Amino acid sequence: MNTEITNASFSSALQIRKGISAVIGSGGKTSLLRALSLELSREHTVILATSTHFLPFPHCPLLLSEEPEPEMLRARLADSPAGILCVARHAENGKLRSPALPFSVLAELADYVLVEADGSKRLPLKAHAAHEPVIPEGSRQCICVVGASGFYRKIGEVVHRPEHFLSLARKRFPELTIDSPAEPKHAAYVLTREGLADRVLLNQMELWGERVGEILREFAAHCPLPLTAASLLHEAL
């Protein structure tokens, strides 16, 4: 468990493996996908995609097609100066939705397929509904991002799906209400109860200064998963 923010590689710290990786949670999914794609594309090809909806990435080309051919995708990826390609279909309000090709096909065309697998309404914390996340079949790993900016603020203000968060957290912390502060132990317990992720990235830790170690220890005491502290804003681990 990292207890300090240091300069390191996100892909190595999170042990990203070739194939399909799903990123879920809140408070930095898009930033993590960007960071991972830039790191991995130094030596490998990378496809960015979503299993739900997301916004276009400004740092890489976009292949937008309802019926793309694998060879077209392969050619576009080869032509990408950065070795990164975002693959998607049109959705409403300027967003993109899941690609037409199966994720298993994408994994045959690129070394790494990085998938944003749920939404969070731009809030730092969340609980997952029954239909969430949408983890692609064949995923090698699932990383949950947790936004530390939500800690010690009212659950009703910083949690996506707060009532579901409370229903899970109250199994261990029955005193919690919608106005209770969301503490690291509450978020960790909910994440553990959900049982969706393989690893956790605790983002926005630059906000906590000397309390980073304290927060990580509290979180780790209630979540047995491998845990990494990060500041995606400052591109540091």
Q: What are phi and psi of 117, to 5 degrees?
A: -115, 10
Beta bridge partners of 160: 126
- H or E segment and range at residue 178: none
Q: Identify which has the larger pLDDT, 234 or 4.
A: 234
Average pLDDT over the chain reads 95
CATH 3.30.160 matches 10-229: no
Alpha helix locations (H) across 51-200? 70-79, 103-109, 155-158, 162-169, 184-194
Residue spans of the domains in the chain: they are: 10-229
Q: Given this model, what pLDDT does residue 6 score? A: 46
Max mean pLDDT among 3-17, 53-67, 136-150 falls in 136-150
pLDDT exceeds 70 at position 207: yes
Q: How far apart are CA 24 and CA 51, in angstroms?
A: 11
Residue 235, by phi and psi: left (phi above 0), alpha (psi -120 to 50) or beta?
left
Pair 97, 33: CB distance under 8 Å: no
Q: How far apart are CA 18 and CA 114, in angstroms?
A: 10
Q: Given this model, what pLDDT does residue 120 score? A: 87
Average of pLDDT values for 182-195?
A: 99
Q: What are phi and psi of 32, to 5 degrees?
A: -65, -45
Average of pLDDT values for 98-105?
A: 97
pLDDT exceeds 90 at position 106: yes
pLDDT band at 160 (very low <50, low <70, confident <90, very high): very high
Beta carbons within 8 Å of 159's beta carbon, 6+ residues apart = 123, 125, 126, 127, 150, 165, 182
pLDDT band at 2 (very low <50, low <70, confident <90, very high): very low
Average of pLDDT values for 136-149?
A: 98
Pair 3, 229: CB distance under 8 Å: yes
Average of pLDDT values for 2-17?
A: 76
Average of pLDDT values for 93-110?
A: 95
Average of pLDDT values for 97-106?
A: 97
Q: pLDDT tens for residues 22-61?
A: 999 999 999 999 999 999 999 999 999 999 999 999 999 9
Pair 20, 113: CB distance under 8 Å: yes
